[in-house]
A and B are shown apart, each in its own frame.
Chain A
Amino acid sequence: MNHSVAAEKFIQDTPRVNWHDKAVWYIREKRDRAVAFVPEWEELRDAAAAIKGETISKLDEYLVQFESRAKENGIIIHWAVDGEAHNKIVHQILDKHQVQLAVKSKSMLTEECGLNSYLEGQGIEVVDTDLGERVIQLAKEDPSHIVMPAIHRKKEEIGELFHAHLGTDPGNNDPNYLTEAARHHLRKKFLKADAAITGVNFAIAGTGGFVVVTNEGNADMGVNLTPLHIASMGIEKIIPKPEHLGVFLRLLARSATGQPITTYTSHFHKPREGSELHVVIVDNGRSRQLGQKDFRRSLHCIRCGACMNTCPVYRRSGGHSYGYSVPGPIGSILSPNMDPEKHASLPFASTLCGSCSTVCPVKIDVDKQLYKWRQIITDKGFAPTKKTMSIKLGNYSFSNPMIFRVIGGLARMGMKLLPKSLTNLLLIKWTKDRDLPKIPKRSFRDWFLKRERVK
């Protein structure tokens, strides 16, 4: 999947692009207002980055500590090197309990592993219970944002979807009405489910428990009704101590949606009486990322989505253009580690403006990593030929004064004489929505030499 090709499709509908841009920017504005209430915001970001930095420097020790404390708490721990191993483990647990219907709250890790389609292939029904996730599940789509998975959908489309699947009145697109319909629909699923699957926001090494946050209460509703709770976590979700939650929880919701905290912040340390609690610890490329000095800080990410909301490219190209479970700037530095060839275009889907790094609550140097990935991707030969050719041409002409003068002269003539349709072909469509600047009659060199002569 090439980002610019996919984005081109998205931008066909200009009013829709403007709507998407505004909807996403609105969340960035809410974030700014929430941040303004916290005078020590920058100190919190520093603390969060320092805690994450320390944690990943002892990640193996903290994981082992988490495992042993969690076992003492009665939690069953599993380890999965990759997505496939994760899916198999989850299926085995569900199979052992003869689960037919599992309810799942939002987990980007299970999206990354493709858990839903795997389980459905094994004959197990999985119902996503976060409203936005349920919308895209019914629409048979992937999430386009990690916090608001259905941000790309208009209420009219959701109305149609709910009419077809949940039997709501045709033409009634009132968000209150649609949410109410989903509530009734999902309540039935909660009461019928045999198991609940959740993600993990933070896993505390010191106490062997974990935290899951939601606004809807869907994670807690699922796990507190069913006799089986499976929580999937990436290895980077570890934090050393409970007191560190104070730092991260002050940053997370404010960065994500502009809320001072999510409605529910639930701490799981022991299974409910008569139920089983499993945690699957997943690597899936993360330990490899840890070994890359320039990129290991991407493991700080707490999945708030602030970098997407602020990104001029994300806002105007939509989450689906990225073709990866985590879109936007953070997805563009995580995905090349998974497959640099497949995701080669993503580090180029950026203006390198650095807004992402400015809002990141854990101070990931996103823009610098984007820039570094570009070099690696180009060195590996995965960059588009048009880009590598033009850079080579530039290098050749800039390092040969004679050639530079000739090409400069040709370009000035060409830009003046050629019609826009032809410059589009020649100049990699740069001029598609832009006009070329006014062409100077002569080069700086000509002007300078003439001036010297007059003197």
Chain B
Amino acid sequence: MTDREQILNTIAANKPRTIPSIVIPKFKRKTSENLIELFKQMVIYVGGRFIITNSKDIFQIIEEQYPKVETIYSCVTEISSKGVMPEKISKPHELNSVDLAVMEGTFGVAENGAIWVTEKQMCHRVLPFIAEHLVILLDRQSIVVDMHGAYDRINLSQVSYGTFISGPSKTADIEQVLVMGAQGARSHTVILTEN
């Protein structure tokens, strides 16, 4: 008997009587809630920077926020990369020199400041983690209330790889002291744009 058969047979013999599946309750929300304001508060709470702008010149805003960065890898068509040639990257390891990565997110979640970013949006799966700093652009109309709303918007079977990112990489593994920039991005800036 294979391990697979052994496991499945034991489960079949040991499982309890079938319990019917449940419907996740719909939780009541105040209609007056300002989603952008809630989202902003959470982005800041989780250690991120928050910018809301009507400007079309996002590159300038980024340069103001990160005056010292030398290499920028941009996955956004309207924003140019700097000091790095995206089309020349053949191995993800070469991205180790990227100071700042710029990408779009699909939507944000007001209750926790998380932004859903898919493989397509991040160019390389490792980019949002390996870059020293991360900027995510988000359409200000794309904020959902909570994680239930989030999964209503995602068709998971169509996403090869996707991640919610909420703030910069962090750890509190040494005596509970919160330190930003553990293994991934040291800083995290969310720019809410107008489409």
Interface residues of A (CB under 8 A from B): 23, 26-27, 38-40, 43, 47, 50-51, 53-54, 56-60, 63-64, 69, 73, 79-81, 85, 129-132, 135, 148-151, 153-155, 158, 175-176, 178-180, 182-183, 186-187, 190-191, 204, 206-209, 215-218, 220-221, 224-225, 235, 240, 242-247, 249-250, 257, 259-270, 272, 281, 283, 287-288, 290-291, 293, 296
Q: Is B86 an interface residue (CB 8 A)?
A: no
Besides A216-B182, A240-B21, A269-B156, 18 other A-B contacts (C-beta < 8 A): A40-B25, A53-B19, A60-B8, A131-B173, A131-B183, A175-B179, A176-B177, A179-B179, A183-B183, A187-B96, A220-B184, A224-B124, A242-B156, A260-B42, A263-B168, A263-B170, A267-B162, A270-B160
Stretch at the interface among B52-60, B73-81, B106-114: B106-114
Set of chain A residues within 8 Å of B154, measured between Cβ atoms: 242
Contact across chains for B157 and A263 when beta carbons are under 8 A apart: no
Distance (whole angstroms) from the CB of A295 to the closest CB of chain B = 11
Q: Kindly identify, within residues 155 to 184 of chain B, every residue whose CB is under 8 Å from any CB belonging to chain A.
A: 156-157, 159-177, 179, 181-184
Query: A54-B19, A217-B183, A221-B184 in contact; A179/B93 too (CB < 8 A)?
Result: no
Query: Closest residue to A50 on the B side, CB-wise?
Result: B22
Set of chain A residues within 8 Å of B25, measured between Cβ atoms: 40, 43, 47
Q: Is B195 an interface residue (CB 8 A)?
A: no
Distance (whole angstroms) from the CB of B19 to the closest CB of chain A = 4
Instruction: Find B15's partner among A58, A64, A186, A261 (CB 8 Å cutoff).
Output: A58
Report the Cα distance A304→B33, complex, angstroms. 30
Set of chain A residues within 8 Å of B88, measured between Cβ atoms: none
Set of chain B residues within 8 Å of A175, measured between Cβ atoms: 174-175, 177, 179
Query: A221-B126, A270-B161 in contact; A150/B93 too (CB < 8 A)?
Result: no
Query: A47-B22, A246-B24 in contact; A85/B11 too (CB < 8 A)?
Result: no
Report the Cα distance A56→B171, complex, angstroms. 33
Instruction: Find A57's partner among B16, B96, B128 (CB 8 Å cutoff).
Output: B16
Q: Is B63 an interface residue (CB 8 A)?
A: no
Query: A54-B19, A79-B2, A287-B7 in contact; A246/B148 too (CB < 8 A)?
Result: yes
B22-65 interface code vs A (CB 8 A; 1 in, 0 out): 10110100000000000000100110000000000000000000
Set of chain A residues within 8 Å of B181, measured between Cβ atoms: 179-180, 183
Contact across chains for A85 and B126 when beta carbons are under 8 A apart: no
Report the Cα distance A208→B182, complex, angstroms. 30
Set of chain B residues within 8 Å of A291, measured between Cβ atoms: 10, 13-14
Report the Cα distance A449→B159, complex, angstroms. 81
Distance (whole angstroms) from the CB of B160 to the closest CB of chain A = 4
* Chain B: interface residue total (CB-CB under 8 A): 73
Distance (whole angstroms) from the CB of A274 to the closest CB of chain B = 10
Set of chain B residues within 8 Å of A38, measured between Cβ atoms: 111
7 A-B pairs with the lowest CB-CB distances in the bound complex, closest first: A217-B184, A291-B14, A132-B173, A260-B112, A224-B126, A270-B160, A216-B182
Contact across chains for A288 and B182 when beta carbons are under 8 A apart: no
Q: Is B147 an interface residue (CB 8 A)?
A: yes
Set of chain A residues within 8 Å of B159, measured between Cβ atoms: 267, 269
A and B contact pairs by CB, cutoff 8 A, 9 listed: A69-B157, A148-B173, A150-B174, A217-B129, A259-B112, A261-B147, A263-B166, A268-B161, A283-B3
Contact across chains for B11 and A60 when beta carbons are under 8 A apart: yes
Query: A243-B151, A270-B161 in contact; A260/B46 too (CB < 8 A)?
Result: yes
Set of chain A residues within 8 Å of B68, measured between Cβ atoms: none
Contact across chains for B93 and A225 when beta carbons are under 8 A apart: yes
Contact across chains for A40 and B27 when beta carbons are under 8 A apart: yes
Distance (whole angstroms) from the CB of B195 to the closest CB of chain A = 26
Report the Cα distance A243→B93, complex, angstroms. 34
Query: A220-B125, A264-B163 in contact; A207/B27 too (CB < 8 A)?
Result: no
Q: Is B67 an interface residue (CB 8 A)?
A: no
Report the Cα distance A235→B7, complex, angstroms. 9
Set of chain A residues within 8 Å of B166, measured between Cβ atoms: 259-265
Set of chain B residues within 8 Å of A240, measured between Cβ atoms: 21
Query: A261-B166, A266-B163 in contact; A155/B22 too (CB < 8 A)?
Result: no
Instruction: Find B24's partner among A131, A182, A243 (CB 8 Å cutoff).
Output: A243
Set of chain A residues within 8 Å of B100, measured between Cβ atoms: none
Distance (whole angstroms) from the CB of B153 to the closest CB of chain A = 11
Set of chain B residues within 8 Å of A217, measured between Cβ atoms: 129, 169, 182-185
Contact across chains for B184 and A281 when beta carbons are under 8 A apart: no
Q: Is B192 an interface residue (CB 8 A)?
A: no
Report the Cα distance A79→B5, complex, angstroms. 9
Report the Cα distance A302→B148, complex, angstroms. 19
Q: Is B130 an interface residue (CB 8 A)?
A: yes
Instruction: Find B179's partner among A47, A54, A176, A281 (CB 8 Å cutoff).
Output: A176
